[in-house]
Structure 1
């Protein structure tokens, strides 16, 4: 019997909608994270100084990196999403704010154009000011600046904190008739050959590659960057599977963003198999709904409809399915810990749990024991997204059309202005219109071969 993803997704969606609320007029959806994000306390400490404990500055930097990816697949009709290698902040600024210009259609009267230009300049200046004043220097020792995002609750990552955390339990129903695509699956750890393909190295070299180097290499390839030459080091027993489980301390040196990209690259081609357990299944965890605020993002600019981007068609940057489409913005995330999934598991499920990295949207770290599948660590299992308006909101106005060519007539023998006006307008009395357009003072003085403008 397959366990329906919707039987878990629907109650979680309803709960999150109630907790988060929905901005007036906004389209908001919740989706599970296809691969999940696993985190440890060390992620929120200064690199090399765990003895100092949690660093609020490091926590903001990690959080900002975590929520700064453009989602993929929100509109695909699936229950889950993944994230691209494209950043939200750079897309917002370099593809929208920086190149934006006032939209000035030819039909807009002159005074209205001036008012629009003035209003747009004020709007863009405020967006630029927020961007320029909100940059922070990295506390990792790297020479880089980032745009911070602020979580609520602020200390959501602290394993000692209970602020914002609450226990939740959900029941997953099953159906023998459920299509395989709609049921919860085990995602299995890739074998050496699959990892070899993902990181573009021969299998024998993969087996010598330290896990941290492998993750960095996979992340670079996922971003489309050239992979650096690997630092090969003999590892006893070959490649260890736990690199895809919650990361051990030696992998914390790999930034969270790189771990996310690497996990996507390593797991997107990994085998999956449906769960075959009975319908007597409950999922329980401690949950924290974390709101995401971006103080550098100027919402009045995004929802304004008086600008365009040269060379970009209306809605092209937010068009669903386009590469790097900025159509949905992460506005909240579901953080969980102390995950427990209890069921009358089949022998097939128990065997799968030994080498699985995920069960549905949940990262798992241990084999099923006494009917319980568990993972105690912190992980991000789902996201709330808000749909953005069509960006840019307008097409670039066409160039001012060239004036239509003036109609002309060549005088032939026997023509008069009266006869020409009658021929052109059906009314000889309009001869003076032709005379005025051609600066003719005497209507009787037109010559054969003379070219007349017909207004």
Structure 2
């Protein structure tokens, strides 16, 4: 079995009945999306965490094992669905039409009311405004909270393995940005940061050298002549080797946009890892997403309405496969987080070189990580590794009849 399949199998096993017969599926990020580490002393820490989650949860995934996000926003499409929904007069005779019209009108009013309330409560960030999404457990952003579970995998690859004990192939690939193929448009859009791996990590502090005065006993006195007066000034020798931490601006939105651009422009080079054995461990937690502004009433009564000027299945055909090309085919419902990633392996020299130049190994984010003297590749930060996604039902159930007049 290949390692990525094994990892997916593990997370599927967290669900008692699996996901195969449901409308749910698991998809992994192409590059683990680092969560901006938050200052524990910030009184607005919960707000900052909600901002990050709201940005992440606005994306719409495709129905496949690896996440590919388009540029459409969940809330934009949801508003289109709700506001364009129109009662199907043709379905009912005179005796029952008003009763069903009342059901539809109530469902639409509830959906519109929640959307308007959600819009007023939107979080405003440097990258724009987002409808609020919260996560449970609430402390999902806290590396020290008692919500994390440890998991490890290992494979020493015996020379002769029984068929029933077939080794798990460590087939992860190094992913690095192809600097030679970067377009001017991409470099301009991201203001040159595309050439640095730092955008992919989550460092709260950036160490910067600053000049500090030495101890006062080393002060020298200078005389400055100003007209007829002489002024004594104390000159403070400067020591430039001291380090002061400075806050780095959150980069989550730029990481998301850059990852999308790299995928779209095919600017990532892949190279197979040559490690022939490994020990891999991490801590993980599952975070359920709460969208108080997402009302499902219209979804339950999908047969009662059509969407103005839109054809049947414009949003979704309801199927959990590649035939579903709808604009709102699925949404994320839970997030898989990992932290304290540690990979110890029998690395080749090429692996060691690739580690210093790559942004990910498989879907594990390893930007700014190095293989240490113990043959370990470590990323202690929190990264969104994957998502539980839900396929939407067939929406709209019928086309706008006026399209065919």
| Range class of TM-score, shorter chain | 0.7 to 0.9
Counterpart-to-counterpart distance in 2, 1:130 and 1:155: 26
Q: CA deviation at 1:345?
A: 2.1
CA RMSD of aligned residues (A): 3.5
Q: Is the 8 A contact 1:58 1:139 kept in 2?
A: no
**1:244 equivalenced with 2:229 (yes/no):** no
Taking the aligned partners of 1:273 and 1:24, their CA distance within structure 2 comes to 32
Unaligned runs of 5+ in 2: 160-165, 207-246
| Residue 69 (structure 2) aligns with | 83
Q: Is the 8 A contact 1:284 1:339 kept in 2?
A: yes
Q: Give 2:363's match in structure 1, choosing from 361, 364, 381.
A: 361
Q: Report 1:58-69 matches (<5 A).
A: 58-69=48-59
**Preserved contact between residue 290 and residue 335 of structure 1 (Cα < 8 Å):** yes
**What is the correspondence of 1:14-413 to structure 2 with a 5 Å cutoff?**
14-15=13-14, 17-18=15-16, 26-42=22-38, 52-72=42-62, 74-75=63-64, 79-94=65-80, 96-105=81-90, 108-137=92-121, 146-162=130-146, 164-171=147-154, 183-191=171-179, 193-197=180-184, 199=186, 201=188, 209=191, 211=193, 239-246=195-202, 249=205, 252-253=248-249, 256-266=252-262, 268-278=266-276, 280-305=277-302, 306-318=304-316, 325-364=327-366, 365-369=368-372, 370-397=374-401
Distance 2:68 2:400 in 1: 32
Whole-angstrom CA distance in 1 between matches of 2:299 and 2:279: 42
Q: CA deviation at 1:138?
A: 5.8
TM-score (norm 2): 0.75
For the residue of structure 1 that corresponds to 2:339, the secondary structure is: strand
Q: Structure 1 stretches of 5 or more lacking a match?
A: 215-238, 402-455
TM-score, normalised relative to structure 1: 0.67
The structure-2 alpha-carbon separation of the partners of 1:142 and 1:377, relative to structure 1 and needing over 3 Å to count, comes to: closer
Paired residues in the alignment total: 348
Structure-2 change in CA distance of 1:399 and 1:156 (3 Å): closer
CA distance in 2, matches of 1:173, 1:59: 39
Check 1:114–1:38 CA distance in 2 against 1; reply closer, same or farther (3 A cut): same
Contact 1:168 1:284 (C-alpha < 8 Å) held by counterparts:
yes
SS across alignment from 2:268:
coil
With a CA cutoff of 8 Å and minimum separation of 6, indicate the structure with the bigger relative contact order: 2
Q: Secondary structure at the match of 1:85?
A: coil
Supply the distance in 2 between the matched residues of 1:184 and 1:244 (Cα, whole angstroms). 19
Task: Tell me the secondary structure at the aligned position of residue 347 of structure 2.
Answer: coil
